[in-house]
């Protein structure tokens, strides 16, 4: 009988080894499985040998098996045998206990009774990596009715005080309740078997997390070109003020018998597309550019004004933030400035009413980058990314008036370029998001009808304004899983060398 058992075991093992070279779809499938008058205990032991687990049979399990199966896994074969021979299985840790189906309710009732009489035990377990509060949420529903689990928490000190704030009433805490400190101790009270079960699960979960190095290159090119050209001319010497002055054109016996007044204006109002980055009015007298005035002061007075302006603004923004974070944890980096926003409030007393100003909040301007990496199978990395580029070049005035008191507050217009996406990439791979975000060309022409349409000569009766704005934004993102011991002294030296290129006079410390 023993020789027959070993032949069966060797046959199944040979089949499993042969099958290991099959395709992925056929993995863990047994092509042919045949048992003839084989004791059921030997059959179950053979399946356990194939699966690499212990299958224990209760003393009541007996009989022989006659069975032939094709292309099945060991789990499917075990389930078929369980149903065919009125058996049931129960997992005990990593082992399988097989019992007759009719005895299972009685066994479970006895186990339940034993657990009720089983003494309680308290274990203090110190976690290596996980937060005890998170583990507590997972295990609370797995306790027995008598069980209890507690996470030992340490009350943190208050957070860092405000950076860049004002003194007195404007002083604020960056973090009111302080940074969350990891709780690393669990106190578990339960029956002995349940405590051992929970601690085993904790050990399986409490593994060292992997880290991901995120490198981003954010490049923005902002080009804004404004051109403005126009003529003002007319009779008299006050054309620039918009005054129409008549000039004599016909005389009889020394008396003026005919007058003529002509005026062509284009500089009294700024065109709708006139949007310079600098604080320019766009009307006479001009703040910048060329203004050329010619006056004829004898005879028939005549005045011509030429104004020409060109503004060319190019902004290149390059940021290369690099940040290291744990798998599944959010990382945030901000490079820029914090712009104070002022608010006005009314203060009144029995004798007077006034307006006071105070700090409302700080607005972040610059480059902000939020990312949450998640390491998936085959060293793929799922990234939740949220890059944002904000800037401000103009302010909006807001006036408040109480009685004869007027106050003006200026609120910045915030320009935002942002993207939010989920991407999947391989370890060390680089992806690019973004592209051409804005390309606007605006053109306006003030002109005198008919005269302004004459080729070449018509330019004297026109004011042309052209504003071209173009923004390109490219974001390159590289994610790399940091291997154990990858940050060697040589790696750190490379980062120090990068800093030395920014400050050549500073020698790197060795």
CATH, residue 126: 3.30.1370.120
Distance, CA of 138 to CA of 188 (rounded, Å):
13
**Range with the poorest average pLDDT among 31-35, 415-419, 506-510:** 506-510
Residues 6+ apart with CB under 8 A from 426: 379, 380, 381
* Residue 140 near residue 151 (C-beta atoms within 8 A): no
User: Does residue 382 share a domain with residue 409?
Assistant: yes
Average pLDDT over residues 462-474: 83
Which of 190, 208, 226 terminates a domain? The answer is 208
74/188 same-domain check = no
One domain, residues 79 and 138: no
**52's tokens:** 């690499």
The answer to whether residue 458 is domain-embedded is: yes
Q: How do residues 17-52 score in pLDDT, each as one tens digit?
A: 444 433 444 456 788 888 888 888 888 888 888 888
State which residues form the domain around 50.
29-116
Tell whether 289 is covered by a domain.
no
Residues 467 and 349 in one domain: yes
In a domain, residue 233? The reply is no
Per-residue pLDDT of 277-329, as tens digits, reads 777 777 777 777 777 777 777 767 778 878 788 888 877 767 888 888 999 88
DSSP string, 308-325: EEEEEEEEEEEE--EEEE
Q: Is 262 within the bounds of a domain?
A: no
For the chain, the domain total comes to 3
- The per-residue pLDDT for 21 is 39
Tokens at 303, concatenated: 């005045």
pLDDT at 67 over 70: yes
- What pLDDT is stored for residue 471 in this prediction? 79
Please check whether residue 253 lies inside any domain of the structure: no
CATH number at residue 48: 3.55.50.30
Same-domain check for residues 346 and 464: yes
388 and 322 both lie in a single domain: yes
- Dihedral (C-alpha) 55, 56, 57, 63: value to the nearest 10 degrees? 40
Q: Same domain for 397 and 443?
A: yes
In a domain, 322, yes or no: yes
What pLDDT does residue 320 have? Answer: 83
Structural domain contains residue 390: yes
Using CA atoms, how far residue 58 sits from 263, 264, 348, 396, in Å, is 114, 110, 89, 84
Confidence of residue 5 (pLDDT cuts 50, 70, 90): very low
pLDDT at 468: 84
Q: What is the mean pLDDT of residues 140-169?
A: 69
Sort 132 into a burial class: Cβ within 10 Å, 0-12 / 13-18 / 19+.
buried
CA distance 505 to 510: 15
Are residue 337 and residue 372 in the same domain, yes or no?
yes
Give the tokens for residue 304: 């011509």
Could you tell me if 365 and 489 lie in one domain? yes
Is residue 168 classed as helix, strand or coil in its secondary structure?
helix
Confidence of residue 498 (pLDDT cuts 50, 70, 90): low
Q: Which two tokens stand for residue 508?
A: 């790197």
Residue 284 domain flag: no
Judgement on whether residues 72 and 123 belong to the same structural domain of the protein: no
**Spatial separation of the C-alpha atoms in residues 215 and 209, rounded to whole Å:** 20
Least Cα distance to 66 among 80, 48, 45 occurs for 80
**Domain shared by 376 and 415, yes or no:** yes
87/145 same-domain check: no
């Amino acid at each position: 009988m023993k020789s027959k058992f070993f032949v069966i075991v060797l046959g199944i093992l040979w089949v499993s080894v042969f099958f290991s070279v099959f395709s992925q779809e056929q993995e863990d499938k047994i092509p042919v499985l045949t048992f003839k008058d084989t004791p059921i205990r030997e059959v179950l032991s053979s399946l356990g040998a194939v699966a690499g687990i212990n299958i224990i049979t209760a003393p009541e399990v007996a009989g022989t098996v006659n069975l032939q199966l094709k292309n099945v896994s060991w789990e499917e074969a075990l389930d078929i045998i369980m149903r065919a021979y009125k058996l049931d299985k129960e997992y005990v840790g990593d082992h399988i206990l097989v019992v007759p189906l009719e005895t299972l309710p009685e066994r479970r009732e006895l186990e339940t009774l034993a657990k009720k009489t089983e003494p309680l035990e308290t274990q203090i377990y110190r976690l290596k990596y996980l937060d005890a509060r998170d583990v507590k949420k997972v295990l609370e529903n797995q306790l027995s009715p008598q069980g209890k689990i507690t996470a030992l928490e340490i009350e943190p000190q208050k957070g860092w005080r405000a950076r860049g704030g004002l003194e007195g009433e404007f002083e604020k805490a960056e973090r009111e309740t302080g940074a969350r400190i990891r709780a690393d101790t669990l106190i578990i009270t339960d029956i002995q078997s349940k405590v051992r079960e929970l601690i085993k699960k904790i050990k399986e979960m409490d593994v060292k997390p992997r880290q991901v190095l995120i490198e981003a290159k954010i490049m923005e090119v902002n080009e804004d070109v404004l051109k403005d050209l126009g003529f003002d001319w007319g009779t008299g010497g006050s054309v620039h003020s918009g005054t129409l002055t008549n000039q004599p054109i016909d005389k009889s016996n020394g008396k003026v018998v005919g007058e003529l007044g002509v005026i062509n204006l284009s500089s009294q109002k700024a065109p709708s597309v006139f949007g310079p980055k600098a604080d320019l009015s766009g009307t006479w007298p001009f703040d910048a550019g060329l203004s050329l005035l010619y006056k004829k002061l004898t005879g028939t007075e005549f005045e011509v004004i030429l104004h020409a302006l060109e503004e060319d603004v190019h902004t290149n923004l390059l940021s290369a933030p690099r940040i290291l974070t744990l798998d599944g944890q959010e990382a945030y980096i901000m490079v820029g400035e914090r712009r104070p926003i002022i608010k006005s409030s009314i203060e009144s007393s029995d004798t007077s009413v006034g307006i006071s100003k105070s700090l409302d909040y700080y607005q972040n301007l610059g480059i902000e980058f939020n990312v949450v990496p998640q390491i998936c199978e085959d060293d793929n990395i799922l990234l939740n990314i949220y890059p944002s580029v904000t800037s401000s070049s103009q302010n909006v005035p807001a006036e408040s008036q109480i009685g004869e008191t007027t106050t003006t507050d200026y609120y910045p217009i915030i320009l935002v370029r942002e993207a939010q996406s989920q991407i999947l990439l391989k370890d060390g791979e680089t992806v690019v998001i973004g592209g051409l975000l804005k390309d606007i060309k605006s053109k306006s022409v003030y002109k005198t009808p008919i005269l302004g349409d004459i080729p070449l000569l018509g330019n004297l009766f026109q004011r042309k304004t052209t504003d071209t704005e173009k923004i390109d934004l490219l974001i390159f993102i590289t994610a790399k899983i940091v291997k154990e011991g990858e940050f060697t002294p040589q790696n750190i030296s490379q980062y120090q060398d990068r800093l030395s290129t920014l400050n050549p006079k500073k020698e790197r410390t060795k």
